[in-house]
Amino acid sequence: MTMIFGIPLQAFLGQLLIGLINGSFYALLSLGLAVIFGLLRVINFAHGVQYMLGAFAAMLMLQYFGINYWFALILSPLVVGLFGAVIERFLLSRLYKLDHLYGLLFTFGLALTLEGTFRYLYGASGQPYAVPAQLAGGTNLGFMFLPIYRGWVVVVSLLACIGTWLLIEKTKLGSYLRAATENPVLVQAFGVNVPVLLTFTYALGAGLAAFAGVLAAPVYQVSPLMGSNIIIVVFAVVVVGGMGSIMGAILTGYMLGIAEGLTKVFYPEASNIVIFVIMAIVLLLRPAGLFGRDA
Amino acid sequence: MRKTLLASLALVLASSTAFAQNATGTASDNKIKIGILNDQSGVYADFGGKSSVEAAKMAIEEFGGKVLGMPIEIVDADHQNKPDIASNIARQWYDTEQVDAIMELTTSSVALAVQAVAKEKKKIDIVTGAATTDLTGKACSPYGFHWAYDTHALAVGTGGALVKQGGDSWFFLTADYAFGYSLEQQTGDFVKANGGTIAGSVRHPLSSTDFSSFLLQAQSSGAKVIGLANAGLDTSNAIKQAAEFGIVQGGQRLAALLFTLAEVHGLGLEAAQGLTLTEGYYWNRDDQSREFAKKFFERTNKMPNMIHTGTYSAVRQYLKAVEKAGTDETEAVAKAIHEMPVDDVFAQGGTVAKNGRMIHDMYLLQVKKPDESKEAWDYFDVLDTIPGKEAYMDPAKSGCDLVN
């Protein structure tokens, strides 16, 4: 049997694929964070909670209204995006003229409050959410047994990442967004409603997090803690990728997912710190991140 | 540069979500004060958590809120599964708040740390939430007790049942701390003593969300049984993801070595059906257990597992011991706890060994299929009763220096 670094090739390929699956969640989440930071200059600590809300929205929709996974995949991001828009409009937008730290503290407080509320209502263990029947089961790839749902996660999140990148880098709306960040006063003078653009951006970021949440619901328990479990890793991804760099966030998400997956084979005990070790090294050598421009 | 600075600040902030809940209550001497210290917000919050505080209150109410004419008070705090936080709270409780006994102590690393503090300060601690046998082994205390279950009982119960059914090669997924090691080692020893083999093991960090890498390693090991030497949400996630990766369909069996009613409820019968597990209490076992469970349900909206009921039993027995000793002085109360048999809804004919181990019967349970469950929370069939003497380690072999 072919061996790579002392483990069989088949096992190695399996782990690589699993890294890619986890990387998909990291990429989707860090993408939303990067969009919000890049355009609003807000360090959105509520991102993990928005992810959690996405999963809960899907579960509650199923429980109370019988709305299935496919509709939840669209509806839940809309609901959470709307919630994000309300938060941005009435609370967050008041903090833009202050130091970034205020935005961070506000979203952090919001995250703690919401997480605490859900923990009070639903307990910490979380609730199950079934894999949709169309995606149940798995297929044997020869080197590993791939649950179809996980394959779907990789494909869909890749599409969502590319779509968002195209929206911001290649469309007219995206160019307004980018211009509004560079010079809001000038863009406003051209007749573009900048505050609405910013609200839309925050809602987009929140919606992306919720989308990831719905994708994650069948894989993990829908639990109030799911957001805080992942948010710190996602921040590390954004830092490694370069704050504000959208493509950087996507690529780094996948890369770190794979790095983490491989650590689980070679030295499992270190699997929850490997991302932070990489972050420390990157910050030492390239303080602006792998894909960031020096500020 | 500023951006990265902010980002690192953000990370520091996030990693210290630390929010120790401060204990309330005032200091006084003519009071019996019991502290419930457990995980109320993390991976083991449903395992015991705030509901255990209710269980403790139920025991206190049975005494009319008073013993020997002294009022009984209760305080509780969230230790966040961190031994340093737990030790600080324990010190504060024992030193400045006149807490007489600390109970529950979920998470083995926490229980070991707090029992050391209690021993040093000559105070009572009764562990119901943690599993490691070290608590009544090399770390035993003359004032420390281990009440509900331990890794040995789980190994004998769940491990034994699976070996009997032909599960003779094992691969372990182990939580990377004291409890996981202890559970893996004792189950492994038990499997080997019965002619089985250990194909390998992998250690995962506490509260992992993704087990697929580890499961894949377990799958490729070809072992007949995958032993989950972890607990709480970790076990639930591992079971759920094992189903996804076709592990059970592939012919391998899962052994959730520490799994209780609370986790089965979270996981749902669909995913949990067929699992074999060991608990010291099951609410739907007889009339007495049902009666207690009903009262508990009215207060917490959930049925109790062995941790909740164990905490109730520990508080009740402690108060009875104070009554018998006629004082709340540590030596006298500890002596009374050692001498008195335990007879309540949790344990029938339980005895307390010299090393502090409360020896009582354990139950081997199997999770029902969804269509076999007649009512909400009706989750288990009782397969077997494991007599206390078999379930628990012989105190003479425990390595505790209090046993001659």
Give A102-157 pLDDT, tens digit per residue.
888 999 999 999 988 988 887 776 777 888 888 887 887 777 788 888 889 999 99
Alpha carbons A80 and A93: distance in angstroms, whole number = 18
Indicate yes or no: CB of A145 within 8 angstroms of CB of B245.
yes
User: Given this model, what pLDDT does residue A99 score?
Assistant: 85
Residues 45-84 in A contacting B (C-alpha not used; CB under 8 Å): 45
User: Given this model, what pLDDT does residue B289 score?
Assistant: 94
Indicate yes or no: CB of A221 within 8 angstroms of CB of B46.
no
Test mutation, B1, B12, B208, B212, chain A, max A CBs within 10 A? B212
Please tell me which residue of chain A has the smallest CA distance to B231: A125
Q: Where are the domains of chain A?
A: 23-226
Test mutation, B2, B214, B216, B249, chain A, max A CBs within 10 A? B216
Per-residue pLDDT of chain B (404 residues; tens, 9 = 90+): 455 545 555 544 444 443 333 333 333 468 999 999 999 887 788 889 999 999 999 999 999 999 999 999 999 999 988 999 999 999 999 999 999 999 999 999 999 999 999 999 999 999 999 999 999 999 999 999 999 999 999 999 998 888 888 888 999 999 998 889 989 999 999 999 888 999 999 999 887 878 888 898 898 888 999 999 998 888 988 998 888 888 887 888 898 999 999 989 888 888 888 888 999 999 999 999 999 999 999 999 999 999 999 999 999 999 999 999 999 999 999 999 999 999 999 999 999 999 999 999 999 999 999 999 999 899 999 999 999 999 999 999 999 999 87
Encoding tokens for residue A235? 């921040």
CA distances from A235 to A238, A276, B191 (A): 5, 10, 43
CA distances from B111 to B159, B242, B404 (A): 24, 30, 24
Q: How far is A234 from chain B (nearest CA, A)?
A: 10
User: Given this model, what pLDDT does residue B152 score?
Assistant: 93
| Cβ(B243)–Cβ(B269) below 8 Å | no
Residues of B in contact with A16 (CB under 8 A): none
Residues of A in contact with B220 (CB under 8 A): 8, 10-11, 14
- Could you say which of A219, A221, A231 has the minimum Cβ distance to residue B266? A221
Q: Does residue A179 carry a pLDDT above 80?
A: yes
pTM across the whole model: 0.76
Residues 286-345 in B contacting A (C-alpha not used; CB under 8 Å): none
Encoding tokens for residue B247? 């592990």
| Cβ(B277)–Cβ(B256) below 8 Å | yes
Residues 93-132 in A contacting B (C-alpha not used; CB under 8 Å): 100-101, 104, 108, 112, 119, 123-128, 130-131
pLDDT in tens, A13-65: 888 888 888 899 999 999 888 888 888 888 889 999 999 999 999 999 998 99
Alpha carbons A165 and B11: distance in angstroms, whole number = 26
Residues 7-46 in A contacting B (C-alpha not used; CB under 8 Å): 8, 10-11, 14-15, 18-19, 21-22, 43, 45
Banded pLDDT at A186 (limits 50, 70, 90): confident
Task: Indicate where chain B has its CATH 3.40.50.2300 domain(s).
Answer: 31-149+286-360, 152-279+362-391
Q: Is A135 on the interface with B (CB under 8 A)?
A: no
- Could you say which of B212, B263, B270 has the minimum Cβ distance to residue A125? B263
- Could you say which of A147, A288, A292 has the minimum Cβ distance to residue B244? A147
Indicate yes or no: CB of A283 within 8 angstroms of CB of B214.
no
Please tell me which residue of chain B has the smallest CA distance to A116: B41
- Could you say which of B6, B17, B41 has the minimum Cβ distance to residue A43? B6
Q: Is B54 on the interface with A (CB under 8 A)?
A: no
Q: Is A269 on the interface with B (CB under 8 A)?
A: yes
Indicate yes or no: CB of A123 within 8 angstroms of CB of B216.
no
Residues of B in contact with A292 (CB under 8 A): 3
Alpha carbons A2 and A21: distance in angstroms, whole number = 24
Indicate yes or no: CB of A295 within 8 angstroms of CB of B2.
yes
| Cβ(B177)–Cβ(B147) below 8 Å | no
- Mean pLDDT over A181-205 rounds to 86
Banded pLDDT at A6 (limits 50, 70, 90): low
Indicate yes or no: CB of B214 within 8 angstroms of CB of A119.
no
Residue type (1 letter), A106: F
Indicate yes or no: CB of A228 within 8 angstroms of CB of B271.
no
Residue type (1 letter), B364: L
Q: How far is A258 from chain B (nearest CA, A)?
A: 11
| β partners of residue B33 | B73
The upper half-sphere exposure of residue B126, i.e. CA atoms within 13 Å in the direction of its Cβ, equals 28
Q: How far is A187 from chain B (nearest CA, A)?
A: 24
Indicate yes or no: CB of B3 within 8 angstroms of CB of A288.
yes
Alpha carbons B109 and B2: distance in angstroms, whole number = 39
Indicate yes or no: CB of B203 within 8 angstroms of CB of A22.
no
Alpha carbons B276 and B258: distance in angstroms, whole number = 10
Strands B351-352, B358-359: parallel, antiparallel or unpaired by DSSP?
A: antiparallel
State whether CATH 3.40.50.2000 applies to domain B152-279+362-391.
Answer: no
User: Given this model, what pLDDT does residue A7 score?
Assistant: 65
Q: Is A292 on the interface with B (CB under 8 A)?
A: yes
Alpha carbons B286 and B76: distance in angstroms, whole number = 31
pLDDT in tens, A231-266: 888 989 988 988 778 888 889 999 999 998 888 888
Sign, Cα dihedral of B274, B280, B284, B285? positive
pLDDT in tens, B112-162: 999 999 999 999 999 999 999 999 999 999 999 999 999 999 999 998 888
Residues 233-262 in B contacting A (C-alpha not used; CB under 8 Å): 233, 236-237, 240-241, 244-246, 250, 262
- Could you say which of B3, B214, B241 has the minimum Cβ distance to residue A268? B214
3-state secondary structure chain A: CCEECCEEHHHHHHHHHHHHHHHHHHHHHHHHHHHHHHHHCCCCCCHHHHHHHHHHHHHHHHHHHCCCHHHHHHHHHHHHHHHHHHHHHHCHHHHCCCCHHHHHHHHHHHHHHHHHHHHHHHCCCCECCCCCHHHCCEEECCCCEEEHHHHHHHHHHHHHHHHHHHHHHHCHHHHHHHHHHHCHHHHHHCCCCHHHHHHHHHHHHHHHHHHHHHHHCCCCCECCCHHHHHHHHHHHHHHHHCCCCHHHHHHHHHHHHHHHHHHHHHCHHHCCCHHHHHHHHHHHHCCCCCCCCCC
| Cβ(A238)–Cβ(A48) below 8 Å | no
Kindly state which CATH superfamily the domain B31-149+286-360 is placed in: Response regulator (3.40.50.2300)
- Could you say which of B43, B216, B267 has the minimum Cβ distance to residue A128? B267
Q: Is A290 on the interface with B (CB under 8 A)?
A: no
Indicate yes or no: CB of A127 within 8 angstroms of CB of B217.
no
Q: Is B41 on the interface with A (CB under 8 A)?
A: yes
